[in-house]
Each structure stands twice: as C-alpha cells, then as structure tokens.
Structure 1
Amino acid sequence: MWRSIASRTSFTATFARKLSSFQNPPSQVIHNFLISSSYYSHFPSRQHLGKSPHQIHSFSSHSSSISEFETENHDSTSSEEVELENGAGFVDTHDVISSKEFRLTPEFDGNDENNDSQIVGFSSNDQELETGERVSSEGVSEIDFEKLKNVESLLQNDLDGSFESSLDGMLLTLNEEFVVRVLQTPLVPGDNLIRFFKWISSRNDFKVTTVVLSELARAICNDPGLKRIDVYALWDLAKEIGEKESCVVNAEILNQLIAAFSKLGKGKAAFEVFGKFEELECIPNVESYYLTMQALCRRSFYDWSTSVCQKMLDARMLPESEKVGELISLYCKGHRSREAHVIYLAAKEQNRHPPQKAVNFLISCLSKVDDTVSLAQEMLVDFSGDVRKHAINPFSWVIRGLCRKKDIAGAKKLFTEMTVKGPPPGNAAFNIIINSLSKAGDLDDAKEMMKLMESRGLKPDVYTYSVIISGYVKGGMMEEARKVLSMARKNHPKLCPTTFHTLIRGYCKLGEFDKALKLLSEMKDYGVVPNVDEYNKLIQSLCLESLDWKTAEKLLEEMKEKGLYLPGITRGLISAVKELEQEAVGSEKEHAKS
C-alpha cells in the first residue's frame, strides 16, 4: 500500500511542476481531479497517514498558480483534505476546481512513472499549427473559432471578385468539421455557399466528402427563399463530383434535389435527377420514387410519372399510407384513374391503407368512365364496419355509373345489397334507379321503387316525381303523368318549373294545346312562375302546328307584363304566321271576286 502511495506522490509532484509552467492562471486549486479520479481512491485515509503538522507538506505555492482542472466525468465532490507522508504533500480540496484544459485520460492509474504525459493539454506530442489551430496527439484538429467567424462574416456579405483571394489570405487549414460549420452559417445567400464550396473543392489539401455535400444540399434546398439558379448550380456540382468520385453523392442528396425542383415546379429537372441514380451509383429509396412522381404529376407529366411508378411497384417500395393517398389523388386529378387503381391494389397487397378520402376520390373517378365502373364496384368489397356504414356516396356513384352504361340489372343488384348489408340507400340512390328505370320505360318498376322509398321512411323529392313524369310523357301516357303530378302536389306545395315544362311539351307534342294552356295558367296556383322556356315552347307549337298566331300574340303580351322577353326568332315566327294567314285570306277574297 505504501508503495502505491509513493508512486502517487511522484505523480503529484510531476503534476505540480506541469501546472507551475503556466503563466498568470486564476487562483484555484485541484479538487475535482483528486476527488473524482481513480487516483484519489487509492490514497489511505487521513487517520492512517497521521495528523502531525510536521508530517504535512503544503502545496499552496503551486495552488496559487493553477487556473482550472476538470476531471473526465465533470463531477464535483465535497471538500476533503489528503495528507501524504514522506514529504509527499498536503492538498486542500477546497482549492481544487475543474477545467477543460487539464484532464486525465481514463488509462491513468498512478503507477506509471510516465503517466504525467497522460494529462491532456500537457502532452509533449501536441502540436500548435501555424494557423493557430491546435492538433492533439490523437491527430484531431480543433476549430479556430476566430477564423471561422471571419469566414462566416465574409459569406454573409455581398461577395465580389476578391472573395477567393480573401479566403486564400486567411491561410485556413480545412477539415470536414470546419467546412460543415461554415455551411451551417445562417443568413448566407445560396450563391455564396456555392462559391465557397467551389473554392474548397479546388484546394489540394481538402477532399469533398458525403457529409460536406449533404450539408450544402441541405442549406440550398431548405432555404425559404429557394432560388432556381442555386438548385441548378447544386445539381451541376453533384454531377461533377459524382463523375469524379464514387460513393460521395448518395440517394439522400439526390432526393433533396428532386424535392427542391418539385417546389420550383421543375418536373423535367426532377425526372433528370431520378434518371441519374444508376449513373451516380446510387440506389433509389422510397422517397426517391415518391418525390419524383409527385414532381411529375404536379406538372402533368403523367407518362413519365407512370414509368417511375412501375419501377416503384417492381421494387416494392411504396411510401407510407398518407403519401400513397396523395399519389392516388394526383393521378385522379389528371384523369389517370386506372394508374391510380394500380397503386391502390399494390398498397392493398402490401397492407397499406390510404386515407379514405383518397379511396373515395378514386371510386368517384372510376365510376365516371364506363370501362372502369367495374373496378370501382370491386373496391366496394373492401368496405366494412364503420367505413361501409358511412359510404353512401361511393355506393351511389357506382350505381350511377352502372345505370349510365345501361347495366340496370347490376345497379338493382347493388342497390338491393345496400338495403340488406348497408349502407342504407338515400334519396340520391333511389332517384338514380328510378330515373334509369323511367328512361328505360320500366315505369311500373319505377313506381314500385318509389313506394319502397316511402316504406323506408324516405320522402320522394320533386326530382323523383319529375323523373317519373318525364318517363310517362316520353311514352305519351299523359293521364298517368297527371296522376303522378297530383301525387307530387300533395307532398310538395311548391313544384319546380321543370315538372310543368315537361308536361307542357308533352301536350304540345300531342297537339293538345288547350290542356297545355290550362296547365300554364295553373302553374302560379302551385307557386311556380312560368319562365321563358314554357312560353317559348308553347308559342312555337301554336305557330308551327296549329298556326294559331292570335293565341301566340296573347301569350307574348302576357310575357311582356311579367317582364319576360321572347327570343327574336320566336317573335319573328309569330309575325311570319300572321302575314302568311293574311296573305291567304287576301288570296281567297280575290279568288271570290273573280
């Protein structure tokens, strides 16, 4: 034990000599070092060393010249005193503090006579560079913050032709950390960063790394004031570096470029970056495909985007669900619902679940085209639980698509499925079926559907009645149409002009002008004001089919009183029929005289 104490005594004396070589340090003494290091733990307790004053040797002459001392773990401990025999010395731990300048390496154990060289900051191997940058014995350079500040200040100002020469005059010793710190400087224009990067690239003592290029890409592409010229300059640098050095440009750097071009609306440039992945020995990742497709779809380059999409699907690199939904929506907006459906199927296979809003949008787009309605109908199978419960609109869109392509049987089957499994059909779904049945001449089925509608607690609206009336009028069954009109009057005190317009046209087509005129006068009793269409159709029919220009003139005067104006062609028709009749009457009179 005492041999161990002697070795530590030798270390203490050596350590004191080291400290005394510094000029004008603050008056502090070594406390944390002795307390928190393994060195202090080997000292015998004070009671074993003895308490005689003549055995204690003070270090006060050294302690007054020590600035700071910091242990490896930065702990501060309570004040204690350590006494050493054999003239080793006495240390008052109240006078010991920590410092970043002096610390012991973990390997120090107090047994090596050369352990004084383990004190970082005193190593004989440390070197001081001519530039003022310190290099430790491990060869790690420390940043000269004064020169860093000078470079940052230079970059933040408007640069002139002397920029490169100013950097040369600073005699900078470049390393990766220093360059990264410069590129992280705030409020530096992008073109200044580009010039600085070109300058360091031209230096023989510095080699561009992935970290440095990534930091430049981050600074340029994330700039709120993103400039097209800066992004293109960055892309040129990336291509130049990638052609010279392999494994410097990576997918993350290229992704940042693609995203920046997308923000600038440069879809072609983003596609060019994507096309360079293989040449630059980079492998596209999920973000690469997503960002490229996003950039292309925003500029309506759907053919190029489709080629990227196919590569993404082949690589099975679908993005997260939210982004899948965005891609689906972008394709639907570009009327590429088939491509969007392929993405949907791939997401389903890979257990991705796009937002329901995007899925509904896809169903809506597929239902608008006859060739893709069946795809939309297949998607409804995936609806279950609460999603199906609230999916009235998607089901209605598919029913409308089936009816449009005249697949009434398929529409009725899906409609029946809705009544059994949900979602419960609403007025829109009923009206679609009723309208299709009416147009197809299946008026009895249409009326039965209307009764089913009422039995489910739904009230047929004016449109429902108008659809059935139109079907009867189309078939020339005016009496049946009037019966439906009576039903509509009972349930709706105010009908729409279209209902009466359909009936008036039907009467005119059959030449029953008296009934048409009577229905026209009844419109105001039901809160409906006749519009120009009703008058125009009736006046044309009176003139062309019955040559009744007198009734037509009365209707024209009635229109003027209501502030309605008849088209010039129809007014001319009244005058032409009137003149034709007058000529015919004149000819008859002359013929009678002769």
Structure 2
Amino acid sequence: MWRSKAARVFLLRSSSIPRPPRPLLSQCPSKTLTQIPHPTPFPSKWILLTSSHHQDPRFFSSGSEAASREEDGNSSSFDFVESGKAAVDQNSVFGDECDSIPMDSNPSLVSEESGSSSLDFGEVKENSEVEGESSRSSLWEESVRGDDSADVFTPEDTVGGAEDEVAEIDMEQVEKVQFLLQSTSQEQLKSGLNNMDLSLSEAFVARVLQTPLVPAEKLVGFFRWALGNDNSVKSSRNVELLVNGLRSCAELSKMEAYMLWDLVMEIGCERGLLNTQTLSQLIAIFWKLGKARACLEVFNKFDEFGCSPDANTYYFTIEALGRRCMFDTAWPVVERMLNSGSLPDGEKVGKIITFFCRGKKAKEAHLVYLKAKENKIYPPSSCLEVLVGGLSRNHETVLIALELLEDYSGKSRKYANRPFASVVQGLCRTKNLHEAKKLLMRMVDSGPAPGNAVFNYVITALSKEGEMEDAIALMKVMDSRGLRPDVYTYSVIMSGFAKGGLMNEAYKIFCEAKKRHPKLSAVTYHILIRGFYKTEEFEKALECLKEMKEDGLQPNTDEYNKMIQSLCLKALDWCTAEKLLEEMKESGLYLKGITRSLIAAIKGLEEEEIQSRGASLQAFVVG
C-alpha cells in the first residue's frame, strides 16, 4: 500500500518540466536557510538546512559521500551542507531541486533509523540533468527494491506531500546585531535593538549568542531583551550557549557572573530548560572567580531544577570550597558524591583528598580514597603520601595509615621513605613500640631503606620508656647497615640512662660519642651534667662543665643557675658557687636575684655557725 502511494507522489513530482541548473545555495546573495546546531560553534563555511516534518536528516560531506544523523525526541532534524556544494532535502530528492545537483560517483543516503536501507543514485556526472520519465521510473524502482526502505519517506510525505517548513535567518540582521554588540555601549544596547525591527527566533538568537569577542554583560543584556520580545527564544540550547559564551569571556567580572545566575534562576522555573551541563558550566564560572558560596548555591539548586550532578559538578563545587578552607561545608557535598558513585578522575580525586588532609580531616579523606579505589580510580602517589602523613598525625588513625602502606608495592615502595617514616613516628608518638619496631625491621628487610631519622624515632621512644637494651641493639643495627649514629642518637641513649640514674653507663656512651664525633652538642653535655646533679656527684659535674668550655661550648644561664642551686642546697658549698658566679659575670651572663640571695644566705649561715662554734669553744675553755 505504502509503495503505491509513494510511487504516485514520486511520479507527480517528477512530471514537472526540467529547468536549467540553479545556482548553488552558497551563492545566494541575501538570506541563508539555517538551523542552529549543537551548542558547539560551527564554522562559517557551513550552510544549514532543516525540515520540521521528518526526523531523517542527511549530511552531505562531499560529492561522493552522505551520512545520516539521528536526533533525540522531538528535536528538529538538520542537515549540514558544505559551502560550494548543493543542498537537498527529502522532498527535493526527486523534484526540481535534483536537476542541478553536482555529485561525484556513487553518492548514497543511509538511514540510521532503519539500519539497512540505502538509496543508490548510480553514477551521475557533475552538472548533468535527469530527464525523461523512463529514467525517473527506473530510479524509483531501484530505490524501493527492499522492504526495509520505508523510512525514505515520512508519513507526511506519503500522505499529504506537504512542503518542508524551513526556518529562515536573515544573516544581514545577524551581522547588524553582532556589530551592535561589539561596538555599542551597554546603555545604548536596548534602544539600538528596538530600532532594528528584528525577526526573532530561537535559531536567530542562538546564532547571535555565538558571536566572539562580545562582553559578558552585553550577551546577558541581549538575551534578556530577546526574552522580553519573543518568549519562543527561550530554550535549553540557547541557555547553554549563553553560559558557554560567558565562560569563554577572558575578563568576566563577579557582577556579570551574578547577572547570569539571576537570569538562569528565572529561566529555571520552567522544567526542562536547564540541564546538568549548563549548571556545571555555571559552577565552573564561579569556581574560576573564587566564589565558593555561589558555587554551593548553584549546586543546591540542582534538585529544584530537575537535574542530577555529575562528576565535574561535584569536583568544581568541592574545589571552590577547598580554596576557601570551608572543610565542614564541603563534606556534605563529598558525601553526596560518594553515595552517587559519580567520582571524577584520579587526579581530581587526589586534589579532594589533599584538601581534606590539609584541613586535618584525614579520616574523611580516607573514605574518599576507599571509594575511589572501589571504583578503580587511582589518585597520584603523591596524594597517597599526603593521606598517610595526615592519618599518622592522629592517634586514632595511625593504624589506618599503617594499613595503607600495603598499597605501596614494587618501585613505589622503594621510594616511599617519607610515608613509612611518618607512620613509624606516629606509632612511637602513641607509644605503640611493638608495631614501631616491627615496621622498622620490615623496612630493613624489604625496604624502603630506613635512614637515621627513622632509627632515632624508635630509639628515642625506647629510651623514654627505659628499654635501653633494645635501644642499644637498634644502634648496633644502624652500624651494621653502614649508618653512623649521630650526636642526637647518642644523646637520646645518654638521656635514657641518666633518667634511670645509671650515670656510669651514660658516661660510657658519652665517651664513645666523643670518639666518633670530636665536637658534641651542648645538649649532650647538659644531659650528663644534670645527671650528675641528681646523683650529687658535683665534682664530676664540674669536670663536665670545664670540659664543655674547653670544647668551645658556652654553658647557658640555666645551666649555671641549677649548678649553683645544687651546690648551695645540697653541698652547702657557697665558695664554689661564688666562683661560678664570677665565671658568669666574665661570660656576660646574668644570674637571677633569688640565686644570688641563696649564695649570701648559705654564706651567712656558715659564718653564724662558725661564730656559734667559736663562742661555745671559748666558753668551754673559760669554764
């Protein structure tokens, strides 16, 4: 049935008298028939044709090739025809417009909707005319030889044979508006547009919105004016073009961005006019301007506008909040991202993790890391290092950091000294010495190779806890690995012995340290001198003080102060205390007044005691 109807329509159209070849559409002087493409700006050399009656667009990219394009829903189909080529719509394939189509060999039409039908015109020479009913009939028979070619004609064509409705854009008017936008001030824009008597349409406004080098304020102003004069220009595509246009502006101000947001909120009242891409681009605009709260405001409007955030939406919102250190505000956005499963790529996930670690929220950052790992998204190794370091600083999460070290393997483990060292330090800080020693020995056996700092962390923790044998054993491990224990290592072990009152062992370590390090630090001498104070071995303390000055190290005020107090209160040796006071004066050090008074008091008590003993002796002699 459909074939007979289609044949009648075909023969009816082909019965017209052939006319001389018509000029190419690209050579027409005044107007160009056009339909707006996808929001991506199109090159000026393309001419656009559209039909509102069928959804079977054809795209002729050359004289020898044609391909169809499929559109969604009720969106109008459109054809691209390169400048210098002829454009043919469905109703003119067999009619008068076909008489002057220049083509290469074997052009064809392929319908994506049917999937298999094709229309083969055979070999047609350039600028040739198809004449005669017999040739048209044979052409028709070849075009309908298969049952699956029903989509060549739409129901409107076969039933009514109606002519295509082609949306016209006056390019002269477009150029005038473009010139007005690029040259006129904002104050004169509205009056200039009113005086033009423009024929507005969705496609017309879309073409203007793609004008380059137009200030953002004027683009918004033009779109507002167009909406006020013709509500049909309001479409999802035009809104997206407007937002993209403003984002590409080199000098976009905060005021212009807020003007755009106000307009978008007004348009968003109608469902279907806004989409995820448009709102994400708007968030990116505010992100670029550093307006974190504005990004969050747009993000919170997604549900109201009937849109669902995507990975870029989440990232730009979180990144904007991160720049303002709004950690608590950003976390609900992150939770929603994790629940949706829409995570950005590994590099962006790494930035989110780093942001929360910087805000001392390593536990939350760890949740992001686990979700990314579950989705097989792997952030950079530098991000893992930051995460391990952040977890190691918290007593509650240091064991989580220890588990994360398992994610290092092969070459990455070999160079992971810093994260391993941070975990060892965290374990020592929490007095988990068993795990600290275990991890250290694991590093010794399988890497990464521990340095002096890692050994010193564990030796210090052991010395504070009085586990001196283990501390000495680790120092020997250092020697066996070619690591020379530094002054700090010896000082820490000396401190551990001195704390336990084992001054002989401390002095042995001191002598060993002096053999390997001719110049020790003042701290090393202070540890030894104070240890001798506590054991009331004042002569040894004075010897260490003398040796310290001989090595070119000057005792500080606190050192003299404690020495003098010990001599006065415990040894009652005010003479030695006065000598130390004189040394301080020569070194330019000042002794506290209370300590000076203490020397005088001890001296006075001694004199009173001497006088008392003398009086008693005299009375005894007289009696």
Shorter chain as denominator, the TM-score bin is: 0.7 to 0.9
What does the per-residue CA deviation read over 1:375-416, in whole Å, with 9 as the maximum and x for residues that have no partner?
001101111101111112211211111121111111112222
Shift of 1:111: 9.3
Shift of 1:259: 2.3
Contact 1:543 1:574 in 2 (8 A): no
Which one is further off, 178-187 or 271-280?
Answer: 178-187
Shift of 1:422: 1.8
Shift of 1:438: 0.8
Q: 2:167 aligns with which of 140, 147, 151?
A: 140
Distance 1:157 1:495 in 2: 79
Could you say which residue in structure 2 is the equivalent of 1:267?
292
Could you say which residue in structure 1 is the equivalent of 2:589?
565
Distance 2:172 2:565 in 1: 93
Distance 1:342 1:17 in 2: 66
What does the per-residue CA deviation read over 1:549-578, in whole Å, with 9 as the maximum and x for residues that have no partner?
54344334434444x433xxx430232123
Change (3 A) 1:504 1:586: closer
Question: Do residues 168 (structure 1) and 194 (structure 2) align?
Answer: yes
Question: Do residues 197 (structure 1) and 223 (structure 2) align?
Answer: yes
Q: 2:319 aligns with which of 285, 291, 294?
A: 294
Contact 2:349 2:372 in 1 (8 A): yes
Could you say which residue in structure 2 is the equivalent of 1:153?
180
Could you say which residue in structure 2 is the equivalent of 1:217?
243
Could you say which residue in structure 1 is the equivalent of 2:401?
376
Contact 2:21 2:100 in 1 (8 A): no
Distance 1:329 1:293 in 2: 12
Question: Do residues 357 (structure 1) and 378 (structure 2) align?
Answer: no
Q: Secondary structure at the match of 2:397?
A: helix
Matches of residues 525-540 of structure 1 in structure 2 within 5 Å? 525-540=550-565
Q: Secondary structure at the match of 1:163?
A: helix
What does the per-residue CA deviation read over 1:509-565, in whole Å, with 9 as the maximum and x for residues that have no partner?
222222122111212444544344433433443345445454344334434444x43
Distance 1:221 1:17 in 2: 40
Q: Secondary structure at the match of 1:530?
A: coil
Normalised by the size of structure 2, how large is the TM-score?
0.71
Contact 2:529 2:541 in 1 (8 A): yes
Stretches of structure 1 that go unaligned for 5 or more consecutive residues are 1-6, 24-70, 76-98, 120-135
Distance 2:307 2:93 in 1: 52
Shift of 1:428: 1.6
Q: 2:601 aligns with which of 576, 580, 585?
A: 580
Contact 1:472 1:480 in 2 (8 A): yes
Q: Which amino acid aligns with 1:450?
A: M
Could you say which residue in structure 1 is the equivalent of 2:425?
400
Q: Secondary structure at the match of 1:370?
A: coil
Question: Do residues 277 (structure 1) and 298 (structure 2) align?
Answer: no
Q: 2:367 aligns with which of 321, 342, 355?
A: 342
Distance 2:177 2:410 in 1: 65
Stretches of structure 2 that go unaligned for 5 or more consecutive residues are 1-13, 30-59, 65-81, 103-162, 617-623
Shift of 1:345: 0.9
What does the per-residue CA deviation read over 1:264-318, in whole Å, with 9 as the maximum and x for residues that have no partner?
3332322221111111011111111112222223323323322221221111111
Shift of 1:369: 1.1
Q: 1:462 aligns with which of 462, 487, 490?
A: 487
Q: Which amino acid aligns with 1:452?
A: V
Matches of residues 517-532 of structure 1 in structure 2 within 5 Å? 517-532=542-557
Distance 2:84 2:470 in 1: 96
What does the per-residue CA deviation read over 1:151-203, in whole Å, with 9 as the maximum and x for residues that have no partner?
4434544322x432221111122334443443344443332222222111112
Distance 2:377 2:243 in 1: 31
Question: Do residues 179 (structure 1) and 205 (structure 2) align?
Answer: yes
Change (3 A) 1:354 1:368: same
Change (3 A) 1:232 1:552: farther
| Moved >4 Å (runs of 4+) | 15-18, 71-75, 99-119, 547-550, 585-594
Contact 2:177 2:193 in 1 (8 A): no
What does the per-residue CA deviation read over 1:410-467, in whole Å, with 9 as the maximum and x for residues that have no partner?
1112222222222222212211111111111111111111111111111111111111
Could you say which residue in structure 1 is the equivalent of 2:131?
none
Distance 2:22 2:592 in 1: 120
State the Cα RMSD in Å.
3.5
Q: Secondary structure at the match of 2:445?
A: helix
Q: Secondary structure at the match of 2:592?
A: helix
Distance 1:320 1:429 in 2: 34
Distance 1:73 1:198 in 2: 40
Distance 2:61 2:610 in 1: 131
Q: Secondary structure at the match of 1:172?
A: coil
Q: Which amino acid aligns with 1:230?
A: E
Shift of 1:113: 7.4
Normalised by the size of structure 1, how large is the TM-score?
0.75
Change (3 A) 1:380 1:263: same
Distance 1:111 1:260 in 2: 50
